Structure 1
């Protein structure tokens, strides 16, 4: 499970709600994919100013299509999501220990130094599937990378249609 920011064009009075740290307006799209790089779920349309945890809460509360994983299974999530039943996040660094968790830190650095880093290395390796899936999706559907010329409701419908076409 992960979220991606997709550019969106909104009326000036709504821009504050959709503005992101990259200095443009976007939607925070949350998706779940399987190991075959197929989306199994997508929540389309939370304003970018929403944190990933808030997007997850909105999807769980308002979308009957959102399903928790089966018992004893987990969605792999990054540090933007909670580590709770059904959601498995990375080990994080604390005041008294540093725990690496990005794949690049393992490629160019020493091997995992403890069980937490070994877990994070495996976790990051598996999570790379969602990153690659979003990458392929954005390359295939270039319209998602440009500033669309339609209002936000039309843009949400287009993104939902793309998701459905990908999963036929």
Structure 2
């Protein structure tokens, strides 16, 4: 009798494990409403909520130690920089960064804390990625109303960068150059120009060398755009507002990010034709003359209502040192040692405006 009871308990645990995995996979991959999932499996909504939160927490606890470990040594940052230099022709680049609004339902008794300028409720997230579209750092949870100049400075990533806690390598000479330039992150106009953050020159009618700098910067920065695009295309929970409390939303976001890295890493270990999570032509690709072919994720993510751009993350004020670093890179990109053959044709013919706009 005792053996039968033990076998029944083991069978029940096995059933619950498979049941939880199915519910979790359906919720994250399809974005179906929790109530509809509860009705489909004929269980209570509270049971579905508990399963989702417990499973997402477990995924983060297990996979974050191997698939979401932020670089912590100069050598690790140099490896990332090597990828950007070889693949995207941007030396001394430690990653591309961007911020998003994760749209949520109005939290109970929250007032206007999470109400953003786009008239939706959201939490802010910030992420950095490497040259292979894998996330390297993640900061999530700041209320949506903080989408102003202080959101980046108050984020964990911003504080670590400003305080020199990221262990970035010491400045080095650009390949073939003589001037030492610090390692930087690429970003769009929403971010401030800082010692370790390069953003484009503002304006439309720029002199040629500044237009070339913006073009070269956009090639490296487009990696984070594609990384977010893959995420929203594969995890459809981001296609609509997330109906959950704040701790659960944060847990969901963290679980999808670490699953993205884990699956992207598995893809890189198999031939291109055998990849399923991020198959060939799913990300933006470039021909030998630099012409950009839009990635397949852009056809799937036409309007991600659950993940939106943050248009202002930092002050427009910048230091003379930051401007000097940007100018040094600008000059290098038009020098014999730093130029790429096709950049002049792109700038002179206006091809950079043909780059698909971010649809997230």
TM-score w.r.t. length of structure 2: 0.38
Deviation at 1:86, TM superposition (A): 1.0
In 1, are the aligned partners of 2:116 and 2:147 still within 8 Å (CA)?
no
Partner of 2:193: helix, strand, or coil?
Answer: coil
Q: Are 2:230 and 1:136 equivalent residues in the alignment?
A: yes
Name 1:147's counterpart in structure 2.
241
Distance change in 2, residues 1:68/1:24 (3 Å): farther
Distance in 1 separating the partners of 2:126 and 2:167: 14
Query: Is residue 2:220 matched to residue 1:126?
Result: yes
Within the candidate set 54, 58, 61, 2:159 is matched to 61
The aligned residue for residue 147 of structure 2 is: 51
Question: Could you tell which deviates more after superposition, 46-55 or 24-33?
Answer: 46-55
SS for the counterpart of 1:32 is strand
Aligned-pair CA distance for 1:144: 2.0
Task: Summarize deviations over 1:23-53 as a string: whole Å, max 9, x none.
Answer: 2111221100011000001111122222364
- Structure 1 pair 89/99, CA: closer, same or farther in 2 (3 Å)? farther
* Change beyond 3 A, Cα 1:52–1:143: same
List runs of 5+ in structure 2 lacking aligned partners: 1-96, 171-181, 263-360
TM-score where L is the length of structure 1: 0.77
Q: What is the CA distance between 1:56 and its match in structure 2?
A: 2.3
Q: Secondary structure at the match of 1:3?
A: strand
Aligned length: 151
- Residue 125 of structure 1 aligns to a residue whose secondary structure is helix
Instruction: Find the aligned partners of 2:216 and 2:148 in 1 and give their Cα distance.
Output: 22
RCO greater where, 1 or 2, for CA within 8 Å and sep 6 or more? 1
What's the counterpart of residue 108 of structure 1?
none
Could you tell me which runs of 5 or more consecutive residues in structure 1 were left unpaired when the two chains were aligned: 101-112
